[in-house]
Each structure stands twice: as structure tokens, then as C-alpha cells.
A and B are shown apart, each in its own frame.
Chain A
Amino acid sequence: MVLYLKEFKIKWGMVIDLDKCTGCGACMVACQAENNIAPVVDASDKRRSMTWLLVYQLSNQKLYPDHDVAYLPRPCQQCGHPNCVPVCPVIATDKNEEGGIVSQVNARCIGCRYCIAACPYHARYFNWHDPVWPEGMEKTLTPDVSTRPRGVVEKCLFCHHRYMQARDKARVEGRDPNALAEGDYIPACVEVCPTGAIAFGDLMNPNHKVHQLSKSPHAFRLLERLGTDPQVYYLSRREWVRRQGDNILEHETVEGV
């Protein structure tokens, strides 16, 4: 038992059905708009672009007519054993709050970028430049999300402010804020997905859809053999997609994949 690890009664998790994902990128756009990520002049410039949620294209590397592609949206995996947390020298990132979301407090971050080096999912981004919003666009900022200055690291927080809002609504309505129903709290990417590929809920709550989905024989997690225990699951009925979720060798057989 490592000191910083905690057991949670609630674990917010995603199950992303890669067979439903069309790669449209609406989730990426929704994420940027919701989380006050400033637009960049050239988003193909990867030194400047900020993509808390990034859609990757997977290919089975076969020629037509056997060619097949899949799209894989990658938010922060909210690992059960996060690599980013123990390397942070100032506890700017932590996995301590009920719900299991790995926190990132930009006011505390000193910008050493150890966490970026530690994260095997490339889910963290560094602000090399101050964000600039075109004039008038500052009115579209989400008030419950703090903007980040240059020199700090940022990442997906499963739209944590929406979690806070859902808890507040439950409190005002006299419900238990620690027993949110499915759909009370969903991140922006989940809300916007046109094919409904992303399911979101409490992985520990049997009444939530994700609880069952995560136990599906078609479910897998990214780089599972690293032991990071992510709270993001992927579903695919295609074996080659599941095999690309980890660095599985060509002739290797892995149980469950």
C-alpha cells in the first residue's frame, strides 16, 4: 500500500465504445469550449495545441479490402495508481477526493513537468504561452473553470466543475450529494457525443451503466499491463482494436484480449 493511494466509494469512470466512435471530434471541441482552452492560430502545431481530450486514429495496418480504422478518444485516464502524483514535488496534482478524479491545481503548479514525463498516456499539457482569446471571445468563458497562465501544467479533470454543480443541485434539492444518480453529472464530451459512444457514471455503483459495461468481455483499458488501473475503459468487438490498447507482440496471446 503506497501512502498516497486511497480507496474510494465513488469512482467516476468512462466507458468509450470505439465501435460507435466515428472520429468526428465533437468531444474535443466541447472539451476546449467547456474548459476555457484558448483557440490557437494553427491547431496542427502540436507545440501550441492543447487537447485535454485527443482523438487518435488506429489502423489495422492491412491493405484494402482488409483495411479497417478505429478512433480512440483519450481523456485523462484518472488512474487508480497515477504515475503523475508521486512525482509532483509540490502536491499540485493529487488523487485524494471522493470520486477518484486526479486533481490539478494550477495555482500550486511550479511547471517542472515531471508529471508530463511520468504520464504514459500523454494526457498532460504544458502552457508554454499565455492563452489569448480573440476579442469578444472572453464572454464565452466558463465561469466555473479557472483559466491557466503560462508555466503550469493542465489536464482533463472529467469536467470537475460539473461534479461540483451536480453536488450543489443535489444539496439544494435535499438529496444526498454523495449518491448522485446517473446523468446528474456528466462531462461536456459525454454530453455532446452524437453517437452516444461515451458512457459515464460511477464504476462502483451497480445501478450505473458503466459498472456493467466495464465488466464486458469486449472492455479493455489502455496500457493495462503497466498497472496504472485507469478509470477509463474502452469497448470494441474488434480484436485488433483491443490488441492495440497495449503493446502486445504480434504472436503473443493475452488473456481477455
Chain B
Amino acid sequence: MEEKKEGPSKGAVVVPFLVGFVAAIAFGWWGFPQLLYSSKSQPLNFTHLNHVQDYGIDCEDCHYFRPDGSYAGLPSNEKCAECHSMAMTSDPDEIKFVEEYYEKGVEVPWLVYQYQPDNVSFSHAAHKDEDCTACHPDVGSTNELPPYYENRLTKYSKETMKMKECERCHAKEGASNACQVCHK
């Protein structure tokens, strides 16, 4: 007489598989990025919106092109000290700027969200007709600076533009994708 072999039921196969699948997805999409990136905040909370709205300062007053075509990027202490050589309010960030950076002659170590590696030469002049926010976070319309996510392994910012994004836009706009156009 033959014994009937009882295989595992359908649920006993599918359920562990599903649990493992969901756990792997959750780890890969949520857990690993949490581990990989550390969240940092800017050394000072600079209030872009107040400067623009209340004091009528244009973006180009601090973020300007030099006559030789290079881009100034972030303003130096000297620029900030045109107004803030002494604390004008009791704002802790302003006092921190004056006491810890300006008076000690230390430049503010701003964290640049889009900082590129050394082998890339990005030309702001070539992209000056594009919207700044196409690449940079829209800091100008708010008083809060977004957190800076640093890759713990590579030390690069999470928001640093990847080569495929540069290439895609260059291809779309008909700009050259030759290596040395961006690499130095």
C-alpha cells in the first residue's frame, strides 16, 4: 500500500518568501540609506528669505560671476561682515558668526549640497541660463536650510549630481558629451 506523501502546503512556501522579500526590500530601500548617510546641519542657519525680502538683497549680490568668468559660489566672511561685523540682533546664529568665525578669521565651513569631485570642472557660466533650482535646493524661498546628507563611505553629499544626470541633460540639450568637457 502506498503512503501518500504530504508536501508542505502552499502557504508554508509563499509566506516565508514574502516575508523575506519585504524585509530585503525594506532594508535596501529604507534601512541601508539610513545607515549609509549621516545627516548634518549647516554651521549657521542663514535666512535667505529674510535677506531677500526684508533687506532687498539680490541673489547676485553674493552669488556672482567674476569678470574672468569664474563663479564666486558662496560669499566669504568679508562679504557677510559688510553688515554683520558686529551682532545687530540677539540672534544666536548671528552672534556665533561674529564671535566664532568673523573675529577669529575662520571662514564659515558651509556644506555645499552639490559639491563635485576634484576630477570634475563644472562651469556655472555655461549653465547661467538654466534655473539654479534645476540642480540646487530651492533655499532662496525659505528661511530654513535643508539637512545635508553625507555618504559615510565616500564623504560626498547625497545630492551631488551624478554623471548620468549630466550626460542625460547634455544629450537632451544637444551639448557635447565629450569627456573633457566636464572632466579635468
List residues 58-108 of chain B with CB under 8 A from any CB of chain A: 65, 67-70
Given contacts A105-B119, A106-B119, A144-B121, contact A171 B180 (CB under 8 A): no
Q: Would you call A171 and B119 a contact (CB within 8 A)?
A: no
Tell which of B28-36, B123-131, B149-157, B165-173 binds the partner: B123-131
Q: Would you call B180 and A98 a contact (CB within 8 A)?
A: no
For the complex formed, measure the closest distance between the CB of B159 and the CB atoms of chain A, giving whole angstroms: 20
Q: Which of B65, B68, B126, B179 contacts A108 (CB 8 A)?
A: B179
- Asked if A157 is at the interface (CB within 8 A of a chain B CB), the reply is yes
Given contacts A144-B121, A161-B121, contact A97 B180 (CB under 8 A): yes
Q: Across the interface, which residues of B come within 8 angstroms of A166, CB to CB?
A: 69
Q: Which of B65, B118, B178, B184 has its CB near the most chain A CB atoms (within 10 A)?
A: B184
**CA of A101 to CA of B179 in the docked complex: distance in angstroms?**
11
Chain B residues touching A, range: 20 to 34
**CA of A173 to CA of B117 in the docked complex: distance in angstroms?**
28
**CA of A27 to CA of B155 in the docked complex: distance in angstroms?**
38
For the complex formed, measure the closest distance between the CB of B27 and the CB atoms of chain A, giving whole angstroms: 31
Q: Would you call B68 and A165 a contact (CB within 8 A)?
A: yes
| Total A residues in contact with B, Cβ cutoff 8 Å | 31
Q: Across the interface, which residues of A come within 8 angstroms of B67, CB to CB?
A: 169, 172
Given contacts A107-B183, A160-B184, A172-B65, contact A96 B118 (CB under 8 A): no
**CA of A157 to CA of B178 in the docked complex: distance in angstroms?**
14
Q: Would you call A157 and B180 a contact (CB within 8 A)?
A: yes
Given contacts A169-B68, A171-B69, A172-B67, contact A160 B118 (CB under 8 A): no
Interface of B is mostly: loop
For the complex formed, measure the closest distance between the CB of A159 and the CB atoms of chain B, giving whole angstroms: 11
**CA of A103 to CA of B117 in the docked complex: distance in angstroms?**
18
- Asked if B139 is at the interface (CB within 8 A of a chain A CB), the reply is no
Given contacts A172-B67, A172-B69, contact A167 B180 (CB under 8 A): no
- Asked if A5 is at the interface (CB within 8 A of a chain B CB), the reply is no
Q: Across the interface, which residues of B come within 8 angstroms of A117, CB to CB?
A: none
- Asked if A132 is at the interface (CB within 8 A of a chain B CB), the reply is no
Q: Which of B70, B180, B184 has its CB near the most chain A CB atoms (within 10 A)?
A: B180
Q: Across the interface, which residues of A come within 8 angstroms of B121, CB to CB?
A: 144, 161, 164
Identify the closest chain A residue to B117 (Cβ). A107
**CA of A104 to CA of B178 in the docked complex: distance in angstroms?**
11
Q: Would you call A160 and B180 a contact (CB within 8 A)?
A: yes
- Asked if A94 is at the interface (CB within 8 A of a chain B CB), the reply is yes
Q: Which of B68, B69, B176, B179 contacts A91 (CB 8 A)?
A: B179
- Asked if A176 is at the interface (CB within 8 A of a chain B CB), the reply is no
Number of A-B residue pairs at CB separation under 8 A: 78
Q: Would you call B179 and A94 a contact (CB within 8 A)?
A: yes
**CA of A103 to CA of B183 in the docked complex: distance in angstroms?**
9
List residues 8-55 of chain B with CB under 8 A from any CB of chain A: none
Q: Which of A105, A168, A169 contacts B179 (CB 8 A)?
A: A105
Identify the closest chain B residue to A102 (Cβ). B180
Given contacts A167-B126, A170-B69, A172-B69, contact A103 B180 (CB under 8 A): yes
Q: Across the interface, which residues of B come within 8 angstroms of A167, CB to CB?
A: 69, 123, 125-126
Q: Which of A107, A165, A173 contacts B70 (CB 8 A)?
A: A165
- Asked if B132 is at the interface (CB within 8 A of a chain A CB), the reply is no
Q: Would you call A97 and B68 a contact (CB within 8 A)?
A: no
Q: Would you call B123 and A168 a contact (CB within 8 A)?
A: yes
Q: Which 7 A-B pairs have the closest CB atoms?
A: A168-B69, A169-B69, A97-B178, A103-B180, A96-B178, A168-B125, A171-B125
Having A103-B183, A105-B119, A161-B184, one finds 9 other A-B pairs with CB under 8 Å, namely A97-B176, A157-B180, A164-B121, A168-B69, A168-B70, A168-B123, A168-B125, A172-B69, A173-B69
Binding site for A on B (CB under 8 A): 65, 67-70, 117-119, 121, 123, 125-126, 128, 176, 178-181, 183-184
Please, could you name 19 A-B residue pairs with CB atoms under 8 Å apart, sorted by A? A94-B179, A97-B176, A103-B180, A103-B183, A105-B179, A107-B119, A144-B121, A144-B184, A146-B184, A160-B180, A164-B121, A164-B123, A166-B69, A167-B125, A169-B68, A170-B69, A172-B68, A172-B125, A177-B126
